[in-house]
Structure 1
Amino acid sequence: MSGQRWKKRPDGSNWGEFGAEDQLGRINLVDPEARLRGVREIRTGESFCLSLPLDYPGGNALLAHRDEPRFHYAPRGDGYNFNFALARMSPCACDVVSDEGVTLDTQYSTHWDALGHVGALFDADDDGEDEIVYYNGYRGGEHLVGPEDAGEKKGAHKLGIENLATACAQGRGVLVDLARIYGRERAYVGYDDLMRAMEGMDVEIAPGDFLCIYTGFGELVLSMQKQPDPEVLASSCAGLDGRDDKLLNWITDSGIAAIAADNFAVEAYPARDPDCDPHAKLPLHHHCLFKLGIQLGELWYFEELAAWLHAHGRSAFFLSAPPLRLRGAVGSPVTPIATV
């Protein structure tokens, strides 16, 4: 295969199936028919915002290396370019302008993970030595260049979030309401649990769909008023069980293009103890981002949408959720919109 970067691909992966240069993964399945299938779910025209306020959860108690947004203002004349009267520069002007800048961690609040977010140490060269490898064999230090790597231009030269932006992340969303079953109880949801939940809600999944998982975690975060309690959050709400092989196999076979959840990592974290070493600490991320190229969305907000869908006996809707077209980023804030 021309351009192939690997001699051995991970067991259960789809590397190369969308082409040697592919950077989209299963978003390739969101074709015009998949989008039209989503459009056909619009029946009333009502819309729901699926994002938390982007300054939530608040502080950095949940992840020390992610900070809430910080605003800053550029000097202008004898003041700042905020509430700046242009009369200071031109006596005849009556305009007042306000601008700002913001430092924003791309995965702090409601966001998409790019395929460059999680890779693995894996012997893609089949020479007995592990390399830092990402989806479809793209390499750490070469295609994804960090501050410890050689070269001046840092960032994701491949597998950046801009690929999802230009692919136009729109299609049919399908909500599975785990909060209605588990409430705030901590639960590891495997294949059998998910199938029971879907059967009870008459959920149908088609290739190219966006699977959305509602756990109630988003409301819990909001209730803490930007003072998150890590212990309470770590012991609350359901999450997908990334150690359940039946669940991972179903994700592979289902053809879903992406998974978005309102919890912190889509999967229940920390994961259950593994059966063997070495192992992925984030097994669902490993399976989806690294092996299959399935985009993951985290910390979304589903409360109002879930209530509406339940009241109307529905589970599907039209989803529009493009990330920022920020080249070289491995994640992006997003304000998803559901239209029913």
Structure 2
Amino acid sequence: MTDSPVPPLRELLAGLPSNWGKWGDNDEVGSLNYLDATQVLAGVGSVRQGKVFTLQTPVGHPHGDPVWPGRRGMERYMVVDEASWLNDDQETPPGGMHWADDMISGYLQGTTQFDALGHVWYDGQIYNGKPAVSTVGGLRFASVAPIAKRGVVGRAVIVDVARHRGRPYLERGETFGLVDVLEAAEAQGVEIRPRDILVVRTGWLESWYNTEAADFYRDFREPGLTFSTELVEWFHRMEIPCLVTDTMGNETTIDPKSGVQLPLHNALMRNLGVAFCEACDLSELAADCDADGQREFLFAAAPLHIREAAGSPVNPVVVK
């Protein structure tokens, strides 16, 4: 990392493209507008085998659940189970039916999730130029609810950077850029078309399950994409609607060149309206794609419809 002072985001991202106002001043779903009927049908057209994969990381894994530092994983509690009916004071419903009920507690971004477009910002403005004070007490603009209402469906492709580098997973802080993604795609026979949903595998979350938590979080720096003007301009030119990865941040934690934390969140999500789907389990999907060579598929997902939320759990579905 450079020893130069860390630049403010307004300086780092100056002159880069923005989609503010492209779909109207009140648009709250950004580049997901690119996923029109043509893109949905393109996704359907990529289904050739009928194989189905779900991408959510499990909640309540015995090893614990990987989450961004400072958050905790979701915790599940039983409220009603068979023990509830052992109490003689409990009135049995007519016919004798028993049931179980449970609840969860935790961060809405405590598992595989979609970010709301209003999740991050700088200079007092969130996506589409709305004031950041609109987030106080809940996101009254660009929350996750509009994404949940419309859904995310289209043709998607997977680029497996870890396999391209010949390893099961990338190391802590290991980075790659646009050239690396395009080279991996070419080597794997992946055609990235305009308006494709881009799925990128690093293997990072897979490493969680055989790593002690203290070691996993020590000097926490995820592997991932690094910021460059070329990358941002490519996303803009290709009209990429959604970025999906198996890391919690969808980019390396600290950009190695500028020292800025998560600059792509702002360049892509805040400025271009690219939806971020994070912490996906890509292990089975990637292995199957490696086995049969089909790396395009239908991607369908909808976060929970939670009013004014900054993010939401999701279990994306892929059909090959």
**Is 2:301 the counterpart of 1:321?**
yes
The 5-angstrom pairing of residues 29-68 of structure 1 reads 29-55=34-60, 58=64, 62-64=68-70, 66-68=71-73
In the alignment, residue 183 of structure 2 is paired with which amino acid?
R
2:240 matched residue in structure 1: 256
What corresponds to 1:229 in structure 2?
A: 216
Instruction: Please give the secondary structure, in 1, of the residue aligned with 2:209.
Output: helix
CA distance in 1, matches of 2:150, 2:162: 31
Indicate the SS of the match to 1:193.
helix
CA shift, 1:70, in A, is 2.3
Tell me the TM-score normalized by structure 2.
0.86
Aligned-residue offset at 1:159: 0.5
Equivalent residues of 1:174, 1:317 under 8 A apart: yes
Which among 175, 178, 182 is matched to residue 188 of structure 1? 175
- Map 1:18-167 onto structure 2 (within 5 A): 18-55=23-60, 58=64, 62-64=68-70, 66-72=71-77, 81-83=80-82, 84-85=84-85, 88-90=90-92, 93-121=95-123, 132-141=124-133, 143-145=134-136, 154-167=137-150
d(CA) in 2 for partners of 1:144, 1:185: 35
The equivalent residue for 1:239 is: 224
Other structure's SS at 1:156 match: coil
Structure 1: which 5+ residue stretches go unaligned?
1-8, 75-80, 122-131, 146-153
Distance 1:115 1:309, change over 3 A: same
Structure 2 distance, partners of 1:173, 1:185, is 22
What is the aligned partner in structure 2 of residue 265 from structure 1? 249
Provide the secondary structure at the position in 2 that maps to 1:213. Answer: strand
Task: Give per-residue Cα distances to partners, 1:32-66, cap 9 Å, x unaligned.
Answer: 110010011111111111111024683788512x1
Q: TM-score, normalised by structure 1?
A: 0.81
* Aligned counterparts of 1:295 and 1:47: Cα–Cα separation in 2: 23
CA 1:91 to 1:49, structure 2 compared with 1: closer, same or farther past 3 Å?
Answer: closer
1:306 aligns with 2:293: no
Q: CA deviation at 1:73?
A: 5.0
- Answer yes or no: is the 8 Å Cα contact 1:160–1:327 preserved in 2: yes
TM-superposed deviation, 1:308? 1.2
Task: Specify the code of the residue in structure 2 equivalent to 1:266.
Answer: N
Q: Which structure's residues are more often helix, by fraction? A: 2
Inter-partner Cα distance in structure 2 for 1:227 and 1:59: 13
| Structure 1 residue 228: Cα displacement | 6.1
Number of aligned residues: 299
Q: Read off the aligned partner of 1:85 and give its amino acid letter.
A: W
Structure 2: give runs of 5+ residues left out of the alignment.
Answer: 1-13
8 Å Cα contact 2:92/2:98 also seen in 1: no
Deviation of the 1:231 alpha carbon:
3.1
Greater shift after overlay, 190-199 or 202-211?
202-211
| Amino acid of the structure 2 residue aligned with 1:144 | T
Residue 96 of structure 1 and its aligned partner are, at CA, apart by: 0.8
Structure 2 CA distance for partners of 1:338 and 1:59, relative to 1, 3 Å:
closer
Asked if 1:179 corresponds to 2:162, the answer is yes
Alpha-carbon deviation of 1:207? Answer: 3.0
Q: What is the distance in 1 between the residues matched to 2:93 and 2:141? A: 51
Distance of 1:90 and 1:298 partners within structure 2: 44
* Identity over aligned pairs, percent: 29
Mean CA deviation greater in 215-224 or 154-163: 215-224
Match of 2:205?
218
Paired with 1:50 and 1:248, the residues of 2 have a C-alpha distance of 26
1:15 aligns with 2:20: yes
Q: CA deviation at 1:169?
A: 1.2
Whether the 8 Å contact between 1:54 and 1:69 is mirrored in structure 2 is yes
Change (3 A) 1:323 1:61: closer
Q: Secondary structure at the match of 2:218?
A: helix
Tell me by how many angstroms 1:107 deviates.
Answer: 1.1
Answer whether contact 1:61 1:230 (CA < 8 A) is retained.
no
Please say if residues 174 and 205 of structure 1, whose CA atoms lie closer than 8 Å, have aligned partners that are also in contact. Answer: yes
